[in-house]
Amino acid sequence: MKITFLEPPSIEDKVPERLAGCTYELYHFPDLANLYPLTMLTEAGHDVGYIDSGLEKLDGAAFIKRVGGDDSDIYIIHSVILSKRTDLHFMGMILERKGDVRFILHGPEPTRVPEQYLIDQRVVVFRGEIENKILQCVDGETPPGVSMLRDGRVVHGKPSELVDMDMLPVPDRFHASIRRYALSYFNPKFRGRPYTAMMASRGCAFRCLFCVPNSISFARELEHIKHFGRKPPPAVASAGRVAAEFEAIAAGGYKSVMVLDDQFLWGRERTLEICGRIEGLSLEWGCLSRADFLTDEEVIGALAKSGCVSIDIGVESFKQKVLDYIRKDLKAETAREAVSTLKRHGIDPKLNLMFGTCPEETEEDIAYTVRVAGNLGIDNAMFSVATPFKGTEFYRFCKSEGYLIDDSDYINPLGKSVISYPQLTASDLERLQRKAYRKFYLRPRFILKRLRRCASWRALKEDLRIAFELFFQKR
């Protein structure tokens, strides 16, 4: 069969970030949620293509024309809440024009509300993780995890099965329809290009109240909670599997990679083994981690020797009362210690800080957090407004307590608050977020250092574009 993965052009004024799944794009990177099934379908002998409208600069008319000239049997779209209107719009247009085509939808939003995507008998929704049964689904079977229309009624199959990370193929980043995009992917954390992304685990073992994971983990989590009432256990790839993917990336000529697991450093011995195996690859890489995994000098030293140059840390707040309320299970001083340890070993810490995670937080608490971040001697921080995504515990909490003031799908943690507390309103949160960005990034020391680091005019333009997005967010 001929199968094409689609990333349609956004009909909004911003482009949804599909892999993170919870914000709009500041820069574009590969959607791994599509690369795994693309690889499996290719290995099974299907003729597989990929149309990325953003990288090909296709507007709506050009996209429809491009698809109109394509003779695929099946189109696959990975959809998130911010892309839902776009995906439904273009799927409807394509179905009107092509009578014999089928669609497969997957991702967290099709998992949460599959009936909203089932607009035609030719549409199938795959809930949860798609990889276990994608081949059967393409062949017209109805494996576990499938929802469809039958005689005009929505029919939901059994729960989808959890994926074993070691059984997944290494994503084919060199597939003909993907390779042409390689030089267009960008991440300002890294000098080396081409750049790519990878995942070494799915899910999270922790219990933070506000949490929404990346879109792959969120889809598996929503499906598991719906059927079993609890989060699924994390799926963690072995050190050998992780090292093999790093080796494949380096062999393919990539110079930098971001590991996008919600938590990469799952165990000390595993981390040390991975670092030892990739030390000679000359790859520039980064990852995400909790602060309490970043205080071991031997581990951080091994990360640095293996090429790790940047780590995103989910700190959220430097006020202990806030951390305790949101069940972060973290001491504020541990976050400071993690930053110091990383800096000693030459790894750039990026702090993810979040405002409005609980009704106990005050404007003074937020000012304190911003002040601490500015005094840590770091160059990267992200300030977001806590957003209750539908299907999460935080959403249910905010709705039941009356803190949710906008129940639409129009969310944007980097520019809009949909929650409002008695002592910290939505407008307060938006104002404090804008103020935090300006206070942190308009420091003369930071500006001079960033200008020195820009290796090219293109890199400088990207920096300026991202700064404009962050400083002048639209509601």
Compute the average pLDDT of residues 218-240. Answer: 96
pLDDT, residue 474, reads: 47
pLDDT in tens, 325-339: 999 999 999 999 999
Compute the average pLDDT of residues 290-296. Answer: 96
∠ CA(359), CA(363), CA(364), 5° rounding?
A: 115
DSSP letters for 112-175: H-HHHH--STTEEEE-S--GGGHHHHHTT---TTEEEEETTEEEE-SPPPPP-GGGSPPP-TTS
Compute the average pLDDT of residues 252-269. Answer: 94
pLDDT, residue 178, reads: 87
pLDDT, residue 311, reads: 97
The closest of 224, 232, 227, 229 to 205, measured between CA atoms, is 232
Q: Which domains does the chain have, with CATH numbers?
A: 2-156 (3.40.50), 178-471 (3.80.30.20)
More confident residue, 474 or 374: 374
Residue 475 reports pLDDT greater than 80: no
Residue 176 reports pLDDT greater than 80: yes
pLDDT, residue 452, reads: 59
- In this prediction the pTM is 0.91
Q: How large is the angle between the packed helices 426-441 and 444-453, nearest 10 degrees?
A: 60
Compute the average pLDDT of residues 270-282. Answer: 96
Phi, psi of 314 (to 5 degrees): -80, 90
Coil vs helix vs strand at 235:
strand
Compute the average pLDDT of residues 26-51. Answer: 94
Residue 253 reports pLDDT greater than 80: yes
| Cβ–Cβ < 8 Å for 265, 289 | yes
How far apart CA 373 and CA 365 sit, in angstroms, is: 12
Residue 268 reports pLDDT greater than 90: yes
Q: 470 pLDDT band (50/70/90 cuts)?
A: low
How far apart CA 436 and CA 200 sit, in angstroms, is: 32
Residue 129 reports pLDDT greater than 50: yes
Residue 170 reports pLDDT greater than 60: yes
Strands of the sheet containing 102-106, edge to edge, are 47-52, 2-7, 74-78, 102-106, 123-126, 146-150, 153-156
Tell me what the pLDDT averaged over the chain comes to: 92
Q: What share of the chain is helix, strand, coil (3-state, %, to 5)?
A: 45, 15, 40
